[in-house]
Amino acid sequence: MTTRIETAFARLKTENRAALIPFIMGGDPSLDTTAKLLAALPAAGADLIEIGMPFSDPMADGPVIQLAGWRALDAGANVIKIIALVADFRKTNTETPIILMGYFNPVYRYGCEAFCNDAVKAGVDGIILVDLPPEEEQEMRPFLDSSGLKLIRLIAPTSGDDRLELLSKSATGFIYYISITGITGAKTADTGSLSTKVAHLRQFSKLPVAVGFGIKTAQAVADVAPIADAIVVGSALVDVIAREKDAASAVKAASAFVTQLAAGLRR
C-alpha cells in the first residue's frame, strides 16, 4: 500500500521541486488555533505538516519552541488531544501527510502499542522521537511495523559513517537531516557544507532527505531546495504565530509566511 508520504514525494518529484514542511506546536496558543492552522496551511503551500507534541523538558529545542510547548501545556494540550486534532483534520483533508514530533516519555506513558494504533487510525503518517535512539527502539518497533506508522530519524551533522548506516537502516518514511549543531532556532544553516553532507548521507539511504533547523526565510528555503527533498521550517513560523493576539490573526500571519516560504521553492 502506498502511503501518503510516498505519494507526496512522488508528486513533488514530477513537479521537480522540494517539499515544504512547516512545524507548528500542537496546542499553541490553543487547540482551536492549531485546528485552524492545520486547515489553512495546505492551501498556503505546506506539502507535509509537522506537529509538535508539547513536553516539559524538550532537550533539542531552543527558546522559541520551548516556550511554545509550555504555552501549549498551559492551554491543556496533550497527546490524546493532538491525535484528536489530526482525526478532525482528516475529515476534510485526506492527502496532506501529518508527522508528529516529540519525545518518548509522553508516548511511553500513553502506551507504545496504543499510541501507534491510535495515531494511525486518526490519520497520522509518521513520528519523530528526538530521544529514542535505534539501540532503544525495541519498545516501539513492533508496533510501528504492525501499524504502519513511519519512524523518521533525525541525523546530526556530527554523525560518523557507522552511525549514519545504523540510523538510515532504522528510518522509514524519510530522513530528517539537522543542518546545524545545537538546538532549534539557534543558528542559520550553512548551505555550503550542507550540500556535501547531504550527498554523503544519500550513500546510506534511498529515502527522501528533509533538512531542518536553522532555516528561517524564503531565501534560505530557495538555497536549500536544490540540495534536499524537503525543507522544514519550525522556529521562525512558531515565532510568527506567537506574535499574534488571537487565532484569526495567527492563522492569517502564519498562512502569509508559509506562502512566502513556498515561493522560495519555485525560484
Residue 220 belongs to what H/E stretch?
helix 218-224
139 catalytic, yes or no? no
Pair 68, 237: CB distance under 8 Å = no
Where are the strands (E) in the chain, listed by range?
19-25, 49-52, 98-102, 126-129, 150-151, 153-155, 175-178, 209-212, 230-233
Cell of 266: 519555485
Cell of 201: 548521507
113 catalytic, yes or no? no
Chain centre to alpha carbon of residue 139: 22
Reduce the DSSP state of residue 116 to 3 states and report it: helix
3-state helix, strand, coil in the chain (%, to 5): 50, 15, 35
Pair 210, 191: CB distance under 8 Å = no
Number of alpha helices (DSSP H) and beta strands (DSSP E) in the chain? 12, 9
- Among the listed residues 28, 47, 50, 229, the single catalytic one is 50
- Among the listed residues 15, 32, 57, 61, the single catalytic one is 61
Preceding omega of 22 cis (within 30 degrees of 0)? no
Point out the residues that are catalytic.
50, 61
